């Protein structure tokens, strides 16, 4: 299943004669009469008075077949009702219509072709008991860039030139053609832990409505779906659509890790609706959902496309079609999870003894870390003696240990020796930082406490006895 390349859109204007709104029955100027304040848009007539007759549903007991109004082909004269539409040679066009007699069996012809020489396609004869419904197709011949779609009165019961041939629910045009456009907000580059809002707009650039429209979007690898973020932003049934409620037209499929939107007029929680073309709905419909960038995406790209399935129901049987959006790529900045571990060789010492601290820094990734630095300043009660390590230098004045770059999975160690100078509890903290986003800052600090006891007291030997 695939969507054909989009031809020039062909679609009738005012196909169901809903404009202008009339009361009962009115005979109005056709669209060529631009000086008239109230005229019938889209349609032209060969009648010399340029008049078209519109009926309101229910007038004289005749219901509309589609919408609230319909037309009578015989207004004041036997004539032809038509529209001329730009067309692309080779394009398949679909037509459908409702026809009904007024006083008995009425007959009309459907003519399609170049404006100067349209060709009769079919004749329709219907009585007064029900509307007849008809469909068909027409392929635009080579060189024909303007196509006339016309209804020609053949005969009407009763013989009155101003009576006969009701028309309604007319369509003539190209198949639906849904185009998807996807965007990510913000555009990036982003960091691990950031939230990305994906917005997808579906526009029907074809002629007929896109039926049973369902948009599906797999959650990008390296992200997690943010529950409750599904929303129809614009278009039919716009408003918040959380997957927490079962009656929504959108939901998150945890099994396949994807979001699903049922879109268009009449969409529900179980099926897609109908999306009109952009002549009727210029902005189409827009949906959105949110994801959180996972740790494994650090330093990588997140790639994502959305797809839509829909049907062309203009022919005798539904034609399944699909559409794919542009690929949306978001760059993620590198991330490095740095951990620091500090330990002392003894938890209790006496004044004057040496305390040895070991500080270990590890990069658990997912990317190399740059500009790694540890702050580990000795507190009061400890006097610096020496330091050595596998990387960088230690400044006892500031407590700064310049580690530098650290590969993913690498560990470096610093040994600091100090002398206890006064009794009491001594707490010492080491903190590590780097240039990259750290996905977990809870392990960036480690604290060690030791107890310094007073040195043993000395006394003179006891006096000698006799």
Is position 351 within any domain?
A: yes
Q: What is the arithmetic mean of pLDDT over 381-410? A: 93
**What's the CATH code of the domain at 29?**
2.60.120.260
pTM: 0.82
Phi, psi of 38 (to 5 degrees): -130, 115
Whole-number average pLDDT of the chain: 93
pLDDT tens-place string over residues 439-457: 999 999 999 999 999 988 7
For residue 113, pLDDT over 80 is answered with yes
Neighbour-count burial for 204-239, b at 16+ CB within 10 Å, e otherwise: bbbbbbbbbbbbebebbebbebbeebbbbeebbbee
| pLDDT of 243 | 62
| pLDDT of 315 | 86
Work out the pLDDT band at 463, boundaries 50, 70, 90.
Answer: very low
Residues 318 and 386 in one domain: no
Phi, psi of 230 (to 5 degrees): -70, 135
| pLDDT of 456 | 81
DSSP secondary structure, 407-424, as one string: -TT-EEEEEEEEEE-SSE
Q: Where are the alpha helices (DSSP H) in 3-49?
A: none
Residues 322 and 240 in one domain: yes
For residue 459, pLDDT over 60 is answered with no
Is position 15 within any domain?
A: no
Q: In total, how many domains does the chain have? A: 3
Q: What percent of the chain has a predicted confidence (pLDDT) above 90? A: 88
| pLDDT of 304 | 93
Q: What is the arithmetic mean of pLDDT over 34-42? A: 96
| pLDDT of 208 | 93
Q: What is the arithmetic mean of pLDDT over 100-104? A: 96
Any idea how long the chain is?
Answer: 466
For residue 196, pLDDT over 50 is answered with yes
Residue with tokens 């310049």: 402
Residues 33 and 166 in one domain: yes
Residues 353 and 300 in one domain: no
| pLDDT of 242 | 56
Residues 231 and 162 in one domain: no
Residues 196 and 168 in one domain: no
Round to whole Å and give the CA distance between 53 and 73: 7
Q: Is 294 helix (H, G, I), strand (E, B) or coil?
A: coil
- Domain termination site, one of 331, 354, 388: 331
Six token digits for residue 54: 């519109």
- Domain termination site, one of 173, 190, 224: 173
Q: What is the arithmetic mean of pLDDT over 367-371? A: 97
| pLDDT of 85 | 96
DSSP secondary structure, 145-176, as one string: -EEEEEEEEEE-TT--TT---EEEEEEEEPPP
What lies within 8 Å, CB to CB, of 220 at 6+ separation is 291, 302, 303, 304
Which residues form the domain of 116?
25-173
**What's the CATH code of the domain at 322?**
2.60.40.740
Residues 267 and 230 in one domain: yes
Round to whole Å and give the CA distance between 95 and 121: 11
| pLDDT of 2 | 45
Is position 11 within any domain?
A: no
- Domain termination site, one of 281, 310, 331: 331
**What's the CATH code of the domain at 442?**
2.60.40.1510
Work out the pLDDT band at 241, boundaries 50, 70, 90.
Answer: low
Strand locations in 140-284, DSSP E? Answer: 146-155, 166-173, 178-185, 195-204, 210-218, 223-225, 231-234, 239-240, 250-253, 258-263, 273-275
Phi, psi of 191 (to 5 degrees): -125, 160
Work out the pLDDT band at 391, boundaries 50, 70, 90.
Answer: confident
Residues 183 and 317 in one domain: yes
Residues 282 and 146 in one domain: no
Residues 106 and 234 in one domain: no
Residues 57 and 38 in one domain: yes
What lies within 8 Å, CB to CB, of 53 at 6+ separation is 25, 26, 27, 28, 71, 72, 74, 75, 76
Residues 323 and 352 in one domain: no
């Amino acid at each position: 299943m695939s969507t054909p390349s989009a031809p020039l859109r062909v679609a009738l204007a005012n196909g169901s004669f809903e404009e202008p709104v009339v009361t009962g029955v009115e005979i109005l100027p056709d669209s060529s009469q631009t000086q008239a304040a109230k005229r019938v848009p889209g349609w032209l007539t060969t009648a010399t008075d340029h008049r078209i007759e519109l009926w309101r549903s229910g007038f004289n007991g005749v219901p509309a077949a589609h919408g609230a109004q319909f037309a009578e082909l015989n207004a004041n004269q036997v004539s032809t009702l038509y529209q001329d539409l730009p067309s692309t040679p080779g394009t398949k066009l679909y037509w459908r219509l409702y026809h009904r007699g007024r006083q008995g069996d009425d007959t009309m012809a459907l003519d399609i072709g170049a404006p100067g020489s349209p060709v009769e396609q079919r004749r329709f004869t219907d009585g007064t008991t029900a509307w007849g419904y008809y469909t068909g197709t027409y392929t635009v011949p080579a060189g024909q860039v303007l196509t006339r779609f016309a209804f020609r009165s053949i005969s009407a019961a009763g013989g009155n030139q101003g009576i006969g041939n009701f028309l309604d629910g007319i369509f003539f045009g190209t198949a639906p053609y849904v185009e998807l456009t996807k965007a990510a907000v913000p555009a990036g580059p982003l960091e691990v832990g950031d939230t990305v809002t994906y917005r997808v707009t579906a526009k029907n650039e074809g002629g007929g409505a896109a039926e049973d429209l369902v948009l599906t979007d797999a959650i990008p690898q390296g992200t997690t779906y943010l529950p409750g973020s599904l929303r129809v932003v614009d278009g039919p049934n716009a408003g918040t659509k959380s997957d927490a409620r079962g009656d929504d037209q959108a939901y998150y499929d945890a099994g396949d890790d994807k979001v699903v939107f049922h879109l268009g007029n009449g969409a529900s929680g179980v099926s897609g609706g109908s999306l009109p073309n952009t002549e009727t709905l210029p902005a189409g419909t827009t949906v959105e959902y949110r994801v959180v960038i996972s740790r494994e995406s650090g330093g990588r790209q997140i790639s994502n496309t959305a797809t839509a399935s829909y049907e062309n129901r203009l022919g005798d049987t539904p034609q399944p079609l699909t559409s794919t959006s542009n690929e949306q790529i978001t760059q993620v900045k590198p991330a490095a999870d740095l951990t620091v571990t500090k330990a002392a060789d003894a938890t209790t010492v006496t004044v004057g003894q040496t305390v040895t601290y070991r500080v270990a820094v590890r990069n658990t990734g997912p990317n190399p870390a740059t500009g790694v630095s540890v702050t580990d300043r000795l507190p009061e009660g400890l006097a610096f003696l020496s330091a050595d390590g596998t990387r960088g230098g230690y400044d006892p004045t500031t407590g700064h240990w310049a580690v530098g770059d650290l590969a993913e999975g690498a560990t470096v160690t610093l040994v600091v020796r100090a002398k206890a100078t006064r009794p009491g509890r001594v707490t010492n903290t080491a903190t590590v930082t780097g240039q990259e986003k750290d996905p977990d800052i809870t392990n960036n600090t480690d604290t060690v406490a030791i107890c310094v006891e007073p040195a043993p007291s000395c006394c003179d030997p006891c006096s000698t006895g006799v």
